[in-house]
Amino acid sequence: AQSVSQHNHHVILSEAASLELGCNYSYGGTVNLFWYVQYPGQHLQLLLKYFSGDPLVKGIKGFEAEFIKSKFSFNLRKPSVQWSDTAEYFCAVNARGGGADGLTFGKGTHLIIQP
Amino acid sequence: NAGVTQTPKFQVLKTGQSMTLQCAQDMNHEYMSWYRQDPGMGLRLIHYSVGAGITDQGEVPNGYNVSRSTTEDFPLRLLSAAPSQTSVYFCASSYGGSMYNEQFFGPGTRLTVL
């Protein structure tokens, strides 16, 4: 079964700082990779996804992520964060052909942006 | 489109009570799933369905039942609620009959079992 590890559970940054949230997964086969965001009191929304092709993917709100297959990583980045980026961020992996293993989420990173 | 809708938004149950969490989607998605979200645990898959009449277990299915009689609806039933089922429950759907595609999430149901 696949698993997902998010390196930081809580991150506090100041506005305009750069952001990188780590995500590593364990699965030897082909995967689809996702980052979801959950703003306070809201449901999960997709930030970006990687299925195949260019390993550098761009998502909404200025976020991007890079898939590094050799490192089993899919880190999320943003050059300059805003107060409105305060939210919970989840990395998720889906092993193609994984059957009931389906979509596996990391435990989440709670990001707080200070004005 | 309303997307994925869930009712109720909040629910308090006593231990041993039963209830059904409702989930509906109007996007004609074949794949639907239920997750529970607990602090520090992320989201964990409870049950999923790849189409009407087909359901299967996820990571944490014990204590929950599902059925899928129509494409639109995927209710989650708690047969005998326990305090360990206190959680936030999210329903999700995706197109193409596969969980491999982007999943769209509902607003969640916050359940407390006393």
Query: What digits encode the pLDDT tens for the residues A11-70?
Result: 999 999 999 999 999 887 788 899 999 998 888 999 999 988 999 999 999 999 999 999
In angstroms, rounded to a whole number, what is the distance separating the alpha carbons of residues A91 and A81? 18
Q: Six-digit token pair at A43?
A: 């449901």
pLDDT digits (tens, 9 = 90+) for B80-107: 999 999 999 999 998 865 556 778 899 9
Closest by Cα among B48, B36, B45, B50 to B84: B36
Instruction: For an interface test with B, give the residue of A32, A43, A91, A110 to mutate (most B CBs within 10 A).
Output: A43
**B106 contacts in chain A (CB < 8 Å):** 43
CB of B97 within 8 Å of any CB in chain A?
A: no
In angstroms, rounded to a whole number, what is the distance separating the alpha carbons of residues B74 and B67? 6
* Other C-beta atoms lying within 10 Å of the C-beta of residue B33: 28
Which parts of chain B have pLDDT scores under 50?
Answer: none
Q: Six-digit token pair at A80?
A: 């300059």
Q: Which amino acid is at B70?
A: T
Contact at CB, A107 and B40, closer than 8 angstroms:
yes
Q: Is B74 helix (H, G, I), strand (E, B) or coil?
A: coil
Partner B, chain A 43-102, Cβ-Cβ below 8 Å: 43-46, 49, 90, 92, 94, 96, 100, 102
What's the CA angle centered on A51, arms B40 and A57, to 5 degrees? 80
